[in-house]
Amino acid sequence: LPGPPIPVLRRGGNADVHAAYGAGTTAAYGLALLDRIADAPADAEAPRVLIVTPTAVRAVSAADELAALAGRLDVRVRALAPGWHDAERADVVTGALANVAGAIGRSALKLDALQAIVIESLSVLLDENGRDALDAILTAVPRDAQRVITTSIANAEVERFVEAYVRRPLHVPARAAAPDTRGES
């Protein structure tokens, strides 16, 4: 996966990104999403981008990385994790699946102004029996919000999830076209 932003994300398109851990995925989606929301008006009480991660440690790491990428942009990045404050009021919120689901369940995290959701490491979240929490989170996400899925493993369960929740995603890397069997005997 290349490090530069994925252009379809800057334009608000959905994506299904398959890449190994450490391939620069956070920078690729992060730069595009940060650029997209930097010029848009903000709601001071609700996030515009939500990033769901497998663990709190990864949420903090993603928040640190995205805050560094945001540089001088007027974009507030926070993690739903110990030591971070006012995460629910940030422009970009990262959080472990359990923390995000809990904050939404307590109505502490409002998703009304959400423009994009990123589900990091989908295969890991599904392997850890996170399907119910993911279903609940994505049900709370506005229908027109952009959806970005990252995963290192493509299996049938990941494909079913993407099919259920991501409308017309760009697949990165691109998938091979299905063979055309018309006219064959």
Residues 121-137: tens digit of each pLDDT: 999 999 988 999 999 99
Token couple for 73 = 């942009």
Where does the pLDDT of residue 86 fall: very low under 50, low under 70, confident under 90, or very high at 90 and above? confident
pTM of the model: 0.89
pLDDT attached to residue 1: 44
Instruction: Examine residue 173 and say whether the peptide bond preceding it is cis (omega within 30 degrees of 0).
Output: yes
Average pLDDT of the residues in 62-66: 96
pLDDT at 71 over 90: no
Question: Is the pLDDT confidence value at 88 over 50?
Answer: yes
pLDDT on residue 44: 62
For a pLDDT cut of 90, what percent of the chain falls above it? Answer: 64
How many other C-beta atoms can be found within 10 angstroms of the C-beta atom of residue 106?
9
Per-residue model confidence as pLDDT tens digits over 155-175: 999 999 999 999 999 888 776
The whole-angstrom separation of Cα 130 and Cα 133 is 5
pLDDT per residue as tens digits for the range 19-52: 877 778 898 899 999 998 987 776 667 899 999 9
Amino acid at 26: T
Helices 25-38 and 56-70, axial angle in degrees (round to 10): 50
Give SS3 for 21.
coil
Q: Is the pLDDT at 178 greater than 90, yes or no?
A: no
Token pair in block for residue 25: 């995925």
Q: What is the mean pLDDT of the chain?
A: 87
Q: Nearest Cα to 145, choosing from 28, 51, 17?
A: 51
Indicate the residue type of 127.
Answer: D
Banded model confidence at residue 5, pLDDT cuts 50, 70, 90 = low
Give yes or no for a contact between 30 and 66, defined as CB atoms under 8 angstroms apart.
yes
